[in-house]
Each structure stands twice: as C-alpha cells, then as structure tokens.
A and B are shown apart, each in its own frame.
Chain A
C-alpha cells in the first residue's frame, strides 16, 4: 500500500508531466520558428549559387571564403576582401556613433522626465512614444523634408541671410546621423527612464550634503545606479542600427553601401544567395561577440561600484 505521501508525490509528478506535455506544442513551435529560418540561412551559406539566383544543392565553402578574401578580377591575386571590410567598418562605426549620440541626447531627456512630478511624467512618457505610431519610412522622409536643400532649415537660413546658398546636408554622413539619432532616440530614452524613475533622489541630496560636486554626483551616484538602463538602451540602439537599411539609403543617397545593402545586393542583382547568407551570419556573430564583451565588461565594473 502506498502511503499518503507517496500518492501526493505521484500526483505532483503527474502534474509536472502534464504541464510539460501541454506546453510542448507551443515550445516546439517557438523552437522551430526561432531556429528553422536561421538553419536554412546556415545551410544556404554552404551551397553554391544558382546561375540566376537561388542555390545549387552542392557543398561549397566559396561563400565563406569570399566574405573575408577576394580574388582580384584583374591580377588574380588573393587578398583580404577590402570592400567588405570597409563596408563592415562603416556600419559598425555608424551604429557606435548613433549609440553615443542617442545616449548624449537620451540621458538628459530621461533625467528631465524622471525629475518631473508624478503626474506630468506620464505625459512626457506619452510624448516620447508618439513617434512610434508612425512608420519608420515616414519618419525618415519627414527628416528629409527638414534638411533637404529646399527644406525647412535651409529656407530659414536663406531667409535670415545667414547663408547665401543652401547648405548641403542631405546625402552626407551628417544627414545619416541626424536621421539615425532621431529614429533610435526613444529606444535609448525609455530604458534609461525606467532605471531613473526608480532612482532614490535622496541619495543625490546626500551626495550634495557631503560636498560632492555636480559632476561627482552624476558620475558616482546617478550613473552607476541607472547603468542597467544605459546598457539596455545601448543594446537596443546598437543592434538595429548595425542593420539599418531605410534611413542610410534615403538620407545618405545610397552611394556608399551599408551592411544591409551589401547583403541585399547578393539576394538581388548580385544573385549570390550563399554569399548573402554567409554575410548575414557574419553580422550575427559580430553582434553576439560585441554583446558578450559589452555585457561582461559592464557587469564587472558594476560590481566594483557596488
């Protein structure tokens, strides 16, 4: 005869098993949906390109070789794929600068919001989310209307007589940065604000009481405490900025490729799907390594600050 305890244990085991069985279909779908498309990309990167797009089902490591190395079409020498490296570095630089720019703008904004009265905070939060209601493409076109030669800025500058000819902002790196900072700013503000809102401002007062300078208060008290928000915001901005496509194309004029354009070229006019797949995975690896390094470093120094 089983004791009451054993019966209870069996019932519990059964319940655990039922729970797993019931959630199994959903877990399976999530697992497949998350890994399935990725696996296809991985497989494609090891195949040969079909003559007019698509892939040929035969193993080839050419795609991976040509991510990093290129055979010069004129003198047939094998060398580092300078064009790819240039494009990778351009995208990484843009993403990094965008992250810094949104941080510089987003941190004070979040501080401002967090120091308002409880009632008005919601209003500010609401205002920050408004741009999300519109499509990215439309927001980018709005920036274009502001900075183009016949746009708002140039019209005002010309009317005031500050400049005699329109300032060429559109199709420059400045234009891309303005657009990127504008588009990604909310992604930086929101996580920082979430940390800042929980900040106990009595600590700031205590700092001042102990004769800390404003900078010291910011650097030694506020910053360490909102660091999780800064980290989250930086990640949220950096990753999509690395793959940005619409904003650099529209505001930069498409003369210089970004990573996303390079990948698109392989699936479109270049008709080299395996290379496109290999490039996509390379981007993922870069993001993963950057993330690991970043989170690790951030975590370490966080401990030191206590």
Chain B
C-alpha cells in the first residue's frame, strides 16, 4: 500500500508541476484530508496569482515517511506538534522564521512560543484542539467529564462506546486515568494501564475513526474524539455533548511548515504569513471546525463556533489541558506492546 500511495503522490506531484506554465507561481500543499478551506485557498490564489495544489495524507507517520524519502514536490506540510521536533531534527523543514513575519503579532500569546518550536522559527499555527469524551445524553445523563466513560463504562453505555484507535491518544488518556504522567515509562503505572485497557475493552463496541456518522446514526452512544468532530456531531444532534475529562485531557496543534526541498519557498512564506491574518484564520476554522490560535479571528468566526463549548474551552476545564508530547522510542515500544496486547 505504501508503494502505491507513493506512486500516486508522485503522479500528483508531476501533475502539479505541469501547472507551472499557467500561473505566476505555484504552491504545493501536503495536508490532512478534508482540512483545507477551498475559500481561503481561492483568496490566496487571487491575491498572489499563485496556483495552489493540495494533496492529502491520513496520518503523521505517512507524511513523515513520504517526505523523508524526498522528491515529493511539496512545498508545505502540516505536521502535528508531536512530530514537529522530528521534522526539525531530521532536517526536513527550513527555518523561515515566521515568528518575525508581519502577521506573527496575531499569534495568541499561549501559542507564540511553544515547546515544540521555541520562538516560532519554523512553524505557523494551522489549528489546535482537544481530545475528550463525547456522549449522547439521550443514552446517558450522568456526569461525563471523565475518562471513566471509556475505561470504566457506566452500565447504560456498555456495548455502545467507541474508541478512536490513535495509540498515543488512548495511552495518554489511560495513563491520566490511573494518575500517571504522559509518556511515562514507569512499569507500575503501565501495568495498571494495561490491566485497565484489557478490562475496559469488552464494554466497547468498536475502535474506529468514523465517529461523526456513527454517533449521528446511533451506532455509538459515546466515543473518545477530537473536539471539532464533536462540534459537527452536536450540530447534527443537539443531545450529543463534548466533555473535558477531569483527570486531564490532551491538547494538540497542527502547524504549517516549509519543506527543505520546497521549490516555491517565497510562495510558501507568503502562505505562512497569509494564514496568520485573523480573517483568513477564521476562514480556515469555518471549514475544519477547530480553533486557530490567531487573536482577533473570533470576530470573523461563524456564529455556530463563536461560543461553541467544543472550541472555546470553559474556564474551569482550561487548566486540565496538556499539550501532548512525542514519547521516547523506547517508551513507544512499550506502548506498542500494550496496544497489541489490547487488540489481539
């Protein structure tokens, strides 16, 4: 499969390069699927007379593996915060110093100097979000601001809970639930985590990504999920609520980087600056349904997102959020073993 997708990506890159003749410039974006607002792209194309192409990926690992091979033809990628340090360390992206760009003043203070890219030397915030628990309140009315919904499922929800199969996210949540620190390699904690997961699994109905449709249709009554996904679910069915677990929940952020092998560096820089403009950032949010880390963008946000509890974290839940980190490879190996044990 990897070979096939590589080949098709190369085909796309070839197609993209033929666009060269038609516009003043091109910009080849490599981003998660269903994540890039066509309106904002159109605006960028019109403003700078640049032809933009977008190629999709479905996981950080896919994106990293492909860019590592080189010759992709992409100028921009959007890795998550956990992966940004790897991209930097492996020399895959270039220092465009977006922290000094004209629109950098708009970056919200809490996102201006993140640990994964101190001083914003490489990255521009694209979106950020949270991972919590989504519950259909028609099925369960009790307190749901806990990972216990997943790991110690109440009777009403037994056999109706889904878990999104992101190993890192599930391990984070389970470790928090037993009172450990993220990325821990403490065997005592991990043993508790393993036992917790194995005992919890019989109460789950599935482990899959397709939550929006399945929560909507009622196949699932609760799931672990990303906040933007939860927002879409609530808009379709007001009984569906997103909850911030009191044991602590994960924060993530995806970031626009310029590849070292980029051929259209100037256009890529223009794009980095462009999306830090509040109106454009709001345009991106309106499409992908996540917050954007740009101050002043709330003015332009769509009405159904302005006060959405999924996007605007309530004050009491704010201190519980923690930016997720990349765990050490040795720790990751332990987690993979527990994960295999869970799914065997």
Q: Which residues of A contact B (CB under 8 A)?
A: 37, 49, 51-54, 70, 73-74, 82-84, 86-87, 148-150, 168, 170-171, 249-250, 253-257, 261-262, 264-272
A86, A150, A266, A270: most-surrounded residue (chain B CB, <10 A): A270
In contact, A269 and B168 (Cβ under 8 angstroms):
yes
User: Which residues from chain A contact B61 at a C-beta distance below 8 Å?
Assistant: 53, 267-269, 271
CB distance from B126 to the nearest CB of A (A): 21
In contact, A171 and B218 (Cβ under 8 angstroms):
no
In contact, B341 and A83 (Cβ under 8 angstroms):
yes
In contact, A73 and B334 (Cβ under 8 angstroms):
yes
User: Which residues from chain A contact B141 at a C-beta distance below 8 Å?
Assistant: none
The 6 tightest CB contacts between A and B, nearest first, are A253-B206, A83-B344, A270-B336, A51-B329, A269-B167, A257-B343
Q: Residue of B at shortest CB range from A252?
A: B206
User: Which residues from chain B contact A73 at a C-beta distance below 8 Å?
Assistant: 187, 190, 334, 337-338
CB distance from A35 to the nearest CB of B (A): 14
Contact with A along B227-246 (1 / 0, CB 8 A): 00000000000000000000
In contact, A256 and B343 (Cβ under 8 angstroms):
yes
Q: Residue of B at shortest CB range from A261?
A: B343
User: Which residues from chain A contact B1 at a C-beta distance below 8 Å?
Assistant: 264
CB distance from A287 to the nearest CB of B (A): 18
Contacts A51-B329, A53-B61, A148-B219 given; indicate if A272 touches B336 (C-beta within 8 A): yes
CB distance from B327 to the nearest CB of A (A): 11
Contact with A along B42-73 (1 / 0, CB 8 A): 00000000000000000101101100100000
In contact, B337 and A70 (Cβ under 8 angstroms):
yes
In contact, A255 and B343 (Cβ under 8 angstroms):
yes
Measured between alpha carbons, how far is A270 from B333 in the docked complex, in Å? Answer: 7
B340 at interface by CB-CB < 8 Å: yes
In contact, A265 and B205 (Cβ under 8 angstroms):
no
In contact, A265 and B336 (Cβ under 8 angstroms):
yes
Contacts A171-B205, A171-B206, A271-B61 given; indicate if A256 touches B344 (C-beta within 8 A): yes
A54, A70, A149, A255: most-surrounded residue (chain B CB, <10 A): A255
Measured between alpha carbons, how far is A89 from B58 in the docked complex, in Å? Answer: 29
In contact, A54 and B65 (Cβ under 8 angstroms):
yes
In contact, B191 and A74 (Cβ under 8 angstroms):
yes
CB distance from A89 to the nearest CB of B (A): 10
Q: Residue of A at shortest CB range from B2?
A: A267
In contact, A268 and B332 (Cβ under 8 angstroms):
no
Supply 29 A–B pairs (Cβ within 8 Å), ascending by A. Answer: A49-B329, A52-B64, A52-B90, A54-B65, A70-B337, A73-B334, A73-B338, A74-B187, A83-B344, A149-B217, A150-B218, A170-B219, A171-B205, A171-B206, A253-B206, A254-B207, A256-B343, A257-B340, A257-B344, A262-B340, A264-B1, A265-B336, A266-B336, A267-B2, A268-B61, A269-B168, A269-B339, A270-B339, A270-B340
CB distance from A146 to the nearest CB of B (A): 14
B274 at interface by CB-CB < 8 Å: no
Measured between alpha carbons, how far is A268 from B336 in the docked complex, in Å? Answer: 11
User: Which residues from chain B contact A257 at a C-beta distance below 8 Å?
Assistant: 340, 343-344
In contact, B187 and A83 (Cβ under 8 angstroms):
no
Contact with A along B300-344 (1 / 0, CB 8 A): 000000000000000000000000001001001110111111011
In contact, B336 and A253 (Cβ under 8 angstroms):
no
Measured between alpha carbons, how far is A49 from B334 in the docked complex, in Å? Answer: 14
Which residue in A74, A148, A255, A272 is a CB contact (below 8 Å) of B333? Answer: A272
User: Which residues from chain A contact B334 at a C-beta distance below 8 Å?
Assistant: 73
Q: Residue of B at shortest CB range from A51?
A: B329
User: Which residues from chain A contact B116 at a C-beta distance below 8 Å?
Assistant: none
Measured between alpha carbons, how far is A37 from B1 in the docked complex, in Å? Answer: 12
Q: Residue of B at shortest CB range from A71?
A: B337
CB distance from B5 to the nearest CB of A (A): 11
User: Which residues from chain B contact A271 at a C-beta distance below 8 Å?
Assistant: 61, 329, 332, 336
B62, B159, B329: most-surrounded residue (chain A CB, <10 A): B329
CB distance from A259 to the nearest CB of B (A): 12
User: Which residues from chain B contact A150 at a C-beta distance below 8 Å?
Assistant: 217-219
User: Which residues from chain B contact A37 at a C-beta distance below 8 Å?
Assistant: 3
Measured between alpha carbons, how far is A170 from B217 in the docked complex, in Å? Answer: 13
Measured between alpha carbons, how far is A269 from B3 in the docked complex, in Å? Answer: 18
User: Which residues from chain A contact B159 at a C-beta distance below 8 Å?
Assistant: 168
User: Which residues from chain B contact A86 at a C-beta distance below 8 Å?
Assistant: 344
Measured between alpha carbons, how far is A268 from B332 in the docked complex, in Å? Answer: 12
Measured between alpha carbons, how far is A264 from B336 in the docked complex, in Å? Answer: 12
Given contacts A148-B219, A149-B218, A271-B336, 12 further A-B contacts (CB under 8 A): A73-B337, A74-B190, A83-B344, A149-B219, A254-B208, A254-B343, A265-B336, A265-B340, A267-B61, A268-B59, A269-B166, A271-B61
